[in-house]
Structure 1
Amino acid sequence: MTQLTFRRLALLAAAPLALAACDSKPETPGELPQGEAIAAIPAPAGTAWTDKVTVSPENGFVLGNPDAPVKLVEYASHTCSHCAQFSNEAHEPLAKYVDTGVVSYELRNLFLNPYDLVIARLVRCAPPEAAHPLSVQVWADLEQIFAGFNANQAALQQASTLPPAQRLQAMGEASGLVDFFAARGISRDQAMQCLADQPKAEALVQASQKQATDLGVTGTPTFFLNGARVDGAVWSVIEPALKAAGAR
């Protein structure tokens, strides 16, 4: 599946979804970083790098030391089964590398369907520190979330016909995503306010589209390590690449 423009995202609001492959054949990867083991970089006193999150200029969420010498970036879809698989496998071991201060891990959005946009807006209702935990929970419960999408197709079809300022709100309610996030600390009023912010939603899609075009990203998950594209999208490929770059 490939990324979609904002207009096409709206038109696909009622399309049934299934857990399926969502990646694409990677282009020729760049030259991955190589180096000796890098000594751990202590976090500021009384803190841990795994609690540190900053927002990058690309509007991604950087977990860990923002000046880490080994920078892992993932372009991800919240409704991508391969992204869910990576999250389920890599969440805990990757956190150990981040905790050393040598590795940072950045999540950036790539939108494959309108639900990705609803989820991205709801994630951004919370402070940046919650972005990674909320994403992990979405991927962990992806099958349940998809069941909610497919159980209420009539309401989602109706939502797709509403004016833009109301569309994401209606989709969030009909899909069950507002309730999902309410159970995780995002109140309904807060969620509806975030989903009504059409300019921010459009800006997210436009930024994602530009980055994907500039970098040749056509599917999810796609990984970059210190700016070089990784030929692979599973933890068994990513971990050796981190080690080769100096992570331990």
Structure 2
Amino acid sequence: MRQNLRSTWTRRGFLGALALAAGIVALPLLAGPSALAQQPASLPGFDLARATEDKVIGDPKAPITIIEYASLTCSHCAHMHTDILPRIKAEFIDTGQAKLIFRDFPMDQVALTASMFSRCVAPERYFSMLSALFKSQKAWFAAKDPLAEVGKTARMAGLTPEQQEACLSNKQLETHILQTRLDGIKKYNISGTPTLILNDGAVVIDGAREEELINALVKLGAKRKAE
């Protein structure tokens, strides 16, 4: 029902991610090793604090919090966002009963790149970028060069090739995303995506399970729309 950590990130790659999150450069930049020796291109308007803040859908004061850990290359995460979330949003989020916090849990290098690009676009375009990537995931992930396809989506969201290079050269952003992943493993024992955490662990849902999610929301006090 979901993308499993063991099947998508090799032990060597996972240990590399651990090292990088601890501040050690152990995972290669997708822009290539030459990027390390170059002055990063400018990224006008980029604000690291805003790029790394929680990305929230809904009223921040909503009584129920859903934290979603997802990978942009996870097909079940795409199903969650394209098919399930719109209904959950209409019934529970738009009515002020719940909010959703999206947290990156990249399962591979392509997902890490996509997460970085998404956080480098203007904050108001963040969820539009996620939506575009999830909706077109089958096409770009199956492409001969998926990274180039992700780059095309980033350009449509406003990132020039030079800005994309600057984005991928930002080690603080890269480390933040990988640290978010590690924190999810440590705090919630996450082993696959999507994983939904309701009210700080009161309910944990593994996978894109709409009925289970709705039942959990109702159990936590949310009211369904009258049919």
**TM-score, scaled relative to structure 1:** 0.66
Instruction: State how far apart, in whole Å, the 1-side matches of 2:205 and 2:95 are.
Output: 25
CA contact (8 A) 2:132 2:153 kept: no
Q: Does 2:204 match 1:230?
A: yes
Q: CA RMSD in A?
A: 2.7
Instruction: State how far apart, in whole Å, the 1-side matches of 2:127 and 2:197 are.
Output: 18
CA shift at 1:211, angstroms?
A: 2.7
Other-structure match for 1:71: 65
| 1:140 partner letter | K
Aligned match for 2:152, one of 175, 179, 199: 179
Other-structure match for 1:86: 80
Other-structure match for 2:16: 7
Q: Does 2:168 match 1:195?
A: yes
| Percent of matched pairs sharing the same residue | 23
CA shift at 1:232, angstroms?
A: 4.2
CA shift at 1:59, angstroms?
A: 4.2
CA contact (8 A) 2:192 2:206 kept: no
Answer 1 or 2: which has greater helix percent: 2
Instruction: State how far apart, in whole Å, the 1-side matches of 2:110 and 2:65 are.
Output: 28
Other-structure match for 1:43: none
Other-structure match for 2:222: 247
CA contact (8 A) 1:122 1:194 kept: yes
Q: Matched residue pairs, number?
A: 184
SS at structure 2 position matched to 1:118: helix
Structure 1 residues without counterparts, runs of 5 or longer = 14-54, 153-170
Instruction: State how far apart, in whole Å, the 2-side matches of 1:202 and 1:180 are.
Output: 23
CA displacement, residues 106-148 of structure 1 (integer Å, 9 cap, x when unaligned): 1111121011110111001123332222212211111111122
| 2:58 partner letter | G
SS at structure 2 position matched to 1:106: strand
CA contact (8 A) 2:64 2:97 kept: yes
SS at structure 1 position matched to 2:173: helix
| 2:115 partner letter | A
CA displacement, residues 223-243 of structure 1 (integer Å, 9 cap, x when unaligned): 111112424422222122212
CA shift at 1:6, angstroms?
A: 7.1
Other-structure match for 1:120: 115
SS at structure 1 position matched to 2:177: helix
Structure 2 residues without counterparts, runs of 5 or longer = 18-25, 31-48
| 1:235 partner letter | E
SS at structure 2 position matched to 1:112: coil
CA shift at 1:180, angstroms?
A: 1.9
Instruction: State how far apart, in whole Å, the 2-side matches of 1:215 and 1:102 are.
Output: 23
CA displacement, residues 26-71 of structure 1 (integer Å, 9 cap, x when unaligned): xxxxxxxxxxxxxxxxxxxxxxxxxxxxx99x84311111111011
